[in-house]
Structure 1
Amino acid sequence: MAVYYAGEFVSIMFMAIALGMDAFSVSLGLGMQQLRLKRIAFIGVVIGIFHIIMPFIGILLGQAISGQFGDYTTLIGGLLLFGIGAQMFFSAFNYESPKLVQPAGMGLLFFALSVSLDSFSVGLSLGMSEVRTVVTLLSFATASMVLTWAGMILGRKVHGLLGVYSEMLGGSILCGFGLYVLFG
């Protein structure tokens, strides 16, 4: 019995890390905006919370709509990431226009939603199996939060090396990841 639970926990951790990798990749681009460490910590916590809420909703709705709704969440997430990245890339050319997507307020909520939509899809499929919900949700949240922090801090370091080109690189990363989500 203990071997079964250990195997289940290892599987959940691998799934949590895989789901957190998109938050890491996207956070690399966002971290290039020279954010303060306090803001980086807050963003990681918000993304962790979304990685609890979205799969929980998915688990609750899993048996009813998993086959029909899962593909749409991937499409929406990819389009959001691409749109945010394109806006970030093109705003680098215009120093006078304000940034549309900031990691605060509604921009932060859209960002957190876009990187947690895939966890909703996973939640839909987990809803059809007997998964330990609390352990799963806490694993998803912890992995995504830690990987978000790591990506943003790494992106912050890269910004110091790249200067004015870092926002274009960050936008390109977001666009590329959005395209990967859509077509990968």
Structure 2
Amino acid sequence: MSLFAVFLIGIGLSMDAFAVSVCKGLALEKYKWRYSTVAGIYFGIFQAAMPLIGFFLGERFKDYISAIDHWIAFVLLGIIGLNMIRESRNKEESCPIYPNQDKAFSPKAMIPLAVATSIDALAVGITFAFLHVRILPAVLLIGVTTFTISFAGVRIGNIFGSRFKSKAELAGGIILILMGFRILIEHLGGV
């Protein structure tokens, strides 16, 4: 898998973190750069750590399922992508307002969000093991991509509001589904 393909997967995975970052920015009365930095660090680290954990889990089992690994990658990316598309259409979800802005970016507030937005990356890491992806460059690229997108998301949310939240989740879902199709087609000998 090329670094460009990993970059696209990183963009797709980071869209949940972007949506949460937009919500965080929307809830701010007074924007500070450190809020963007905190969001970028939490989301970037967790988005990089989860595929690494998934990769090591996948490495343990890849010998047993190497004949169908491309189907597993296709199904996992498809499920994650469809879930993101479904979430993008959910109109009931709203951004919480925090009376204390600093508490909104505290570890107590950020760690559960970072874990929740990076669970999908765990499954992607498993597919990386099956596809023999060089894991260190991949997780670094995903982490940096997520940091950048989350950093920008807080500011964008503060300036523009939640207008981009559902569009980001939709785009992320579509990217992951397309990458799943690409992996399947490559392994079936189509490209």
Q: TM-score range by the shorter chain?
A: 0.5 to 0.7
RMSD: 3.9
1:26 counterpart residue number? 20
- Structure 1 spans left out of the alignment, 5+ residues: 1-6, 160-168
- Relative to structure 1, the CA distance from residue 98 to residue 132 in structure 2 (aligned partners, 3 Å threshold; closer, same or farther) is same
Alignment of 1:7-156 (within 5 A): 8-34=2-28, 35-63=31-59, 64=61, 102-156=104-158
Contact 1:55–1:137, Cα closer than 8 Å, also in 2: yes
SS in 2 for 1:127: helix
Counterpart of 2:136 in structure 1: which amino acid?
V
Once the two structures are TM-superposed, the CA of residue 157 in structure 1 deviates from its matched residue by 0.9
Once the two structures are TM-superposed, the CA of residue 112 in structure 1 deviates from its matched residue by 0.8
Contact 1:62–1:127, Cα closer than 8 Å, also in 2: yes
Once the two structures are TM-superposed, the CA of residue 21 in structure 1 deviates from its matched residue by 2.1
Contact 1:49–1:141, Cα closer than 8 Å, also in 2: yes
Runs of 4+ in 1 over 4 A off after TM superposition: 85-89
- Relative to structure 1, the CA distance from residue 87 to residue 103 in structure 2 (aligned partners, 3 Å threshold; closer, same or farther) is farther
Report the identity percentage: 21
Contact 1:40–1:149, Cα closer than 8 Å, also in 2: yes
Provide the rounded CA distance (Å) in 2 between the counterparts of 1:8 and 1:88.
37
Provide the rounded CA distance (Å) in 1 between the counterparts of 2:137 and 2:38.
23
Number of aligned residues: 151
